[in-house]
Each structure stands twice: as structure tokens, then as C-alpha cells.
Chain A
Amino acid sequence: MPINYEVINPNTDVATTKTLLHEVIPLTGTIVSGTYGTFPDDDNVKNYSHGMFQSVYDYPYLSSSANHIFDLTIGYDESSGFYNTSNTQNTKKTNMYNQFSQVLLGYTGSANRVRLFESDLTLNEDNSMKEVFFVNLSRLLTKDQIKKGSVSITLGTASYGSPFGGTVTYTDANATENAGTLNTVGGDYGILLDTANNLTGGVVFYQAGVMALTASAFSGTAGLPADFYDGLSLADVMTGSAITASADAFRHRLYNLQFNNTTEINSAVYFCRASHNKFNYSNNPTYLSSSAIRVKNLNRDNAPVSYITTIGLYNSQNELLAVAKLSEPLRKDPTNELTLRVRLDY
């Protein structure tokens, strides 16, 4: 253990910074449909007995190597034309819609009912999306939030047999850090648009990592395919099938999904200043040969030299709280002064 320390002055030797780190997250449609096992019973897709959502992994989920990438579910509001108490899982579908809505949009009106998702940035009850596919992205992928303006999703719009015979791509191209989004109780959201064809696909909530895609997002320019999923229309799937079947249908038509995530890194930078007359000798056992300092070669006029490889940061009880390693030894002698900048990220 070292016996010589230098004080770190919190006023002059410590700085704090915040930086945003972005990673590109590309999710190809094949990974969620057909890569592992046979669609729709893919080994990387987990269904639950409650049947309220479906989880998608990047590898067969029974493996410890699997990472959760997103959950899929659908929902519709009670005011939707799809709503019917005789529908399969009708209550669960409305519950899912209400749950996402209350978390992401909150309540409104004297009746204090949940807001409806809207395909615009006004929340004035126009352009409501009453039937919605929800893509709930894992925090593992989105980290602190999705980067605004980076989302792109491509869906197949052709018939079930070859869904990617036609595609539509929605992006949040209008969203930036300073504009093109609306702030709600669930964080900021932006609109997913096919700008070329002036189509609206849904909305993306950046902090929550949730995409709410309107059921008509699969229309493209040619309209909804009659054979949306295995001989069934979209309306049949959303009303007469379980939520998991709708999730299967979504996976079957997901061609590509890409976004940039954001990690906020708060850093403390410690400036470790070794002045000219400090740290020039060493306790390293190899430093001496029969008590003689090797680097001085028995000449008192030669300057003492040491080679720094490690920086230890200590508290007042001499406990080592953090350690930093230099990638190569750094020569220290009385002719130089060093400032070693140690950054700790939180």
C-alpha cells in the first residue's frame, strides 16, 4: 500500500460533466420471425398463460444468453368500432389500451377518463388512434431514452403469403431535440410518418420506449391487405383472435426496426496533479539493488525516476475507492509535472 498521498482539492481538482452516448439499434424482422424455430412458435418468442402480451428475445429465451428486446400487445378503446363484449379477450384488449394510455397520456375531462392516442401533436381528441399495436421496447435496448429523430420502422403491407411484397416505412423525421414532439405525463412523443406518401403510422414515446402503431399502419398506399394474417382480415385478428395471435401477425409483418438509444453519462473528472518533487521514488522491491537505487546508477547527480502505471483514488480512511490504469508506463522525474485526468462515469 502506498504511504504517500496527494490531496485532491474538490474546488480545483474535480469537475463534473454530463455526456449523451448514442448507439444504433437495428432489429431486422427475421430475428423476430423465423430465425429461431418455425413461425409462429419461434423459440425466441415467449407467450404467457395470461395471454396479455408476447415477449421477444434475441435468442431462444430458455438460453441464459437470450436478451429481452421487446414486448408486443394490442389494445382498443371502448369507443372503438372493434369493441364488442363477445370478442376474444375483449376486456384484456381494452385493459391494455387503458394501461398504456393512463401511463403515457394520463386522464382528461370531467369524467376523468383516459386520453386516446392521437396521430398528431395536439391531444385535442382529433385524429384518435382507437385500435393500436404496442411495441414496448426493452430498457436494455433503449437505455435512458430513444434518440429523437432516429426511429424507423418498416412494415409489410402485402398479403400474408409474401407480406413484404409491399412495404411502408415510418420515421419520426420531424422530431428533433427541440421541436417536433409533444411533452406528456409519459414523456415526449413524436409522430411516425411516411413522409413520401403522407401517411401516419403512429407515435413513439422516447423516454418510455413505447411505440403505439395504429391498426391502419399496415395499409400503405394500397390499403389494408384482405389476407392480413393466415386468411383473416385485420379486424378479424383484432376481434376474434387472442392478443398473442395479433402479436404473431405483427411479427410476421415487421420488416425492419431501427433507432438510436441514448445513455446519459454523468462523469466526475479527478485531476491528479503530481508536481515536480513528488512521486519520483518507488517502494517497488525491484527499485533497489542492495539498497542502491537502480535508476541512479550510483551517481547522486542522476535524477530519480519512477514509472507510473496505476492511480489509486482514496477516501480519508485510506480506503481505495477507485483505481485507474495507464495503458503504458509514464515516466516521472523531477524535471516534469504530470496531471493525470481520471474520469469516473456513473
Chain B
Amino acid sequence: MGFLDNSGDIILDAVLTDVGRKRMAEGNFRIVKFGLGDDEIDYSLYNADHPSGSAYFDLEILQSPVMEAATKQASSIKYGLLSITRTDLVYMPVLELNQKSGVDSVLKHNNIILLAANKATYTTLAQDANIGASKVLEPNTLTPSSKVIIESGITSADRQPTRENRDNMLVSTNLVDLQFDVRFDSRFMAGLISVQPRQDQSFANNTDGSRRITLTAFARKSAVSATQFMDNYVTAMADGLEDLVLQYTTAETDETGTNLSQLAGPRGGMTALSFAPSTEINAQGTASPSYYSLYGSTGVVGTSLGFASTDSFDYIDTTVYVQGLTTGASIQLPIRIVRQQA
């Protein structure tokens, strides 16, 4: 994939994708809409302090070389441009992984989220002195004690996370994510489990700053193929809740709510997730399923993985991609699926 010649007039280099050719062979090639992308652009090159003036602010961006079009669908538009009618937005939401203790959020271990491949492994790791139940996801359960909690909102503390700011910056601008697209590798994960948007579920705080979090109702979500995103990947839609962790001047514990929320600014929506490992990798016993030797490691002593246990473990590292369906904000979750050889 070379760069396009940008020395003359602006040209368009267009190709059919692999799916496009397949649809053409099937006789149902029908283009009905378009989207725009800017994957090559690094907006940090925008220099609003350029000494030569505003005409030079985006000079480096406009000089960015653009790669040739690739036929593999997955290698095309990854993010995309957004259509928002308002022009006065200064902040936009991002997705953040909640790492606050005390909100039932699974905590990263060595910068990675641990998912037990089976119940026996979970029991071992939940009792491990270095891990515990807060640092490992229980597999395939509708009552997970720890969850992957993702929040959507403003990370900057320049805008306080009050209800007023939340309403002005997120609600009135329609930038609250209450549904999330979750894409994962179907070779290693059989399914997604997400919180249900019921009235008895909540992610909020009280006016005194104490937690008002109830994440107890989970449901399995069906997945469909997402090979247009990445080979072997499937996608499932996770439901979310309003993230009502707010700043209260009356708070006794934490005025800004950052004791519960990962976001320093106004919070919009959130979701809580867990996963079901695939049947190819969840077997209990001493014999390691072949996927571990193919895609991961086998027979690794627990201490070298940062566990207190000296037992042997197998593991596979994978990445889960989460995107807010309203804002398009996305986050990548590094996940290690661990299996005890026992």
C-alpha cells in the first residue's frame, strides 16, 4: 500500500473492496450511502499557535501523505467523520475504562484485564493473594462480581461534572452513549454479557457523594459476524445506563464524584460487560486445548504472570473493541484469557 502522488491536482483512487466484488458476483452490488474517513490524519499536528498566522495552523495536516486505497474492507475507514449540526462544541465525549475500586469494576492486572477461561481457574485466581475477585472476570455468568465498566463522557476537569453541565454539554447535544457496539474475536469468546437497562439498575451517586450503584441484572447478547471490521471478529450490541455520577456541593466523600467515576468532567452513559470464553478454550484439566499453543502460551508458571500461585497456566491475549453508538467514541480493551492447568 503505497502513498498517493500528491504533487499535482487532487485525484481520487477508487477500488472495489473484497466484499464489493463478492456482492457484484452475487448480483446484488448496490451502493446506497457513503461515509467519510480521516484515518491518516494526526490532529495533534494542528498548531493554533503558529507564528505565521491562521493560514498555517493546519499546514502540516494538509501535507499528510495519504495511502492508496486497499481492497480489504477491514483496512479502510476505521473511525469516520461525524455529522453534528451544532458548530459550537468544544468538548466531545470519549470512552474510559473505569478503574475505581468500590464500584465492582474489574481492575487491570499488569495493564491487562484478566478473564478466567473456566470456573476452576476463576476460583483459583479469585483466591490468589495477588489477584482476588476484583482483578479477574468470572466466565459466563449473569451475576458477575466484577465487570468491565466503560464510561462515556468528558475527561477534562475544566468542565465540572454537575448535572447542569451534563445537560448542556451531553444531553442537549445528543452525545450520550446508551448503546455500545462490542466487537470481539469469536475464536476465543463465545458471547457477550451486558447490563440490562432496567429501572432498578443504576450507576450514580447520592448527594452526599456515596455510591448509588446497582449493576445486578445482566443478559447475554447475540452476536453477528463482523468480518468487515476484522477477520474472525463478531459484534454484539451492549446496552447501557445513564451515568449519573454527579458533582454535588453537599458531598461528604468526594465532591466531584471521581471516587466512583473515571471521568473528571461531565458523564453521559456507561455500560457494564462480561464475556463467555469459547468452547475451544474453556476446557478444564491438565491437557491444554490446542488454541493456547496456536495463539497464546501454555504451561506458564503463575508467578511469572504476576500471580501468587505457582501452578501452571495457559493464556491467550486478545483485544475487544468497544464503540459508543451515539458519539462514535471508541476504546480498545486488552484482555488476557487465563486457564489453569488442573
- Contact status B34-A284, CB under 8 Å: no
- Contact status B61-A329, CB under 8 Å: yes
Residues of B within 8 A of A283 (CB): 79-82, 327-330
A341 within 8 A of B: yes
Distance from B179 Cβ to chain A, minimum over Cβ atoms (Å): 11
- Contact status A6-B34, CB under 8 Å: yes
Binds A, one of B65-73, B187-195, B289-297: B65-73
- Contact status A310-B38, CB under 8 Å: yes
Give CA–CA (A3, B41) in the complex, Å: 18
Give CA–CA (A296, B154) in the complex, Å: 16
A191 within 8 A of B: no
How many chain B residues have a CB neighbour from A under 8 Å? 79
A113 within 8 A of B: no
- Contact status B36-A291, CB under 8 Å: no
- Contact of B12 (CB < 8 Å), options: A7, A289, A343: A343
- Contact of B77 (CB < 8 Å), options: A2, A7, A281, A329: A2
Give CA–CA (A266, B326) in the complex, Å: 39
A85 within 8 A of B: no
- Contact status A324-B38, CB under 8 Å: no
A16 within 8 A of B: no
**Residues 263-314 of A at the B interface (beta carbon under 8 Å):** 270, 272, 274, 277-301, 303-314
**Residues 195-239 of B at the A interface (beta carbon under 8 Å):** 228-229
- Contact status A322-B83, CB under 8 Å: no
Q: Which of B15, B38, B41, B94 has the most CB of A within 10 A?
A: B38
A-B interface pairs (CB < 8 A), number:
291
Residues of B within 8 A of A306 (CB): 36, 38, 81
Give CA–CA (A304, B92) in the complex, Å: 12
B63-101 interface bits toward A, Cβ cutoff 8 Å, 1 = contact, 0 = none: 111111110010011111111110111111110000000
- Contact of A322 (CB < 8 Å), options: B15, B38, B48, B228: B15
- Contact (A316, B32) CB under 8 Å given A2-B37, A297-B48, A344-B14: yes
Give CA–CA (A332, B83) in the complex, Å: 11
Give CA–CA (A298, B92) in the complex, Å: 12
**Residues 111-158 of B at the A interface (beta carbon under 8 Å):** 153-156, 158
- Contact (A308, B81) CB under 8 Å given A279-B36, A328-B62, A329-B64: yes
- Contact status B68-A325, CB under 8 Å: yes
- Contact status B155-A4, CB under 8 Å: no
Residues of A within 8 A of B258 (CB): none
- Contact (A291, B155) CB under 8 Å given A311-B12, A315-B30, A343-B12: yes
- Contact (A325, B12) CB under 8 Å given A296-B90, A310-B36: yes
Residues of B within 8 A of A315 (CB): 23, 28-32
A140 within 8 A of B: no
- Contact of A321 (CB < 8 Å), options: B5, B19, B40, B43: B19
- Contact of A304 (CB < 8 Å), options: B14, B19, B40, B89: B89
- Contact status B328-A2, CB under 8 Å: yes
A326 within 8 A of B: yes
Closest to A346 in B: B24
- Contact status B328-A323, CB under 8 Å: no
B4 within 8 A of A: yes
- Contact status A280-B83, CB under 8 Å: yes
Residues of A within 8 A of B87 (CB): 277, 280, 303-304, 334
- Contact status B80-A4, CB under 8 Å: yes
**Residues 2-46 of B at the A interface (beta carbon under 8 Å):** 4-6, 9-17, 19-20, 23, 28-44, 46
- Contact (A314, B35) CB under 8 Å given A2-B77, A323-B14: yes
- Contact status B76-A284, CB under 8 Å: no
A1 within 8 A of B: yes
Residues of B within 8 A of A308 (CB): 36-38, 81
Distance from A307 Cβ to chain B, minimum over Cβ atoms (Å): 5
A327 within 8 A of B: yes
A342 within 8 A of B: yes
- Contact status A312-B76, CB under 8 Å: yes
- Contact status A327-B66, CB under 8 Å: yes
- Contact (A322, B70) CB under 8 Å given A3-B80, A307-B41: no
A320 within 8 A of B: yes
Distance from A93 Cβ to chain B, minimum over Cβ atoms (Å): 43
B259 within 8 A of A: no
- Contact status A290-B34, CB under 8 Å: no
Distance from B111 Cβ to chain A, minimum over Cβ atoms (Å): 18
Distance from B45 Cβ to chain A, minimum over Cβ atoms (Å): 8
Distance from B68 Cβ to chain A, minimum over Cβ atoms (Å): 6
- Contact status A321-B20, CB under 8 Å: yes
- Contact of A4 (CB < 8 Å), options: B14, B28, B83, B153: B83
Leading 3 A-B pairs by shortest Cβ distance? A2-B80, A321-B20, A2-B35
25 contacts between A and B (CB under 8 A): A2-B37, A278-B83, A281-B81, A281-B84, A282-B38, A286-B44, A287-B43, A288-B91, A298-B90, A305-B58, A307-B41, A308-B81, A309-B40, A310-B36, A311-B12, A311-B14, A311-B34, A312-B76, A315-B23, A320-B228, A322-B31, A328-B6, A328-B62, A328-B65, A329-B61
Q: A3-B325, A342-B34, A344-B16 are in contact. List 17 more A-B contacts (CB 8 A).
A: A270-B34, A272-B36, A279-B36, A279-B83, A282-B38, A282-B82, A283-B329, A284-B38, A311-B34, A314-B32, A315-B30, A321-B16, A321-B17, A323-B17, A325-B4, A329-B66, A331-B62
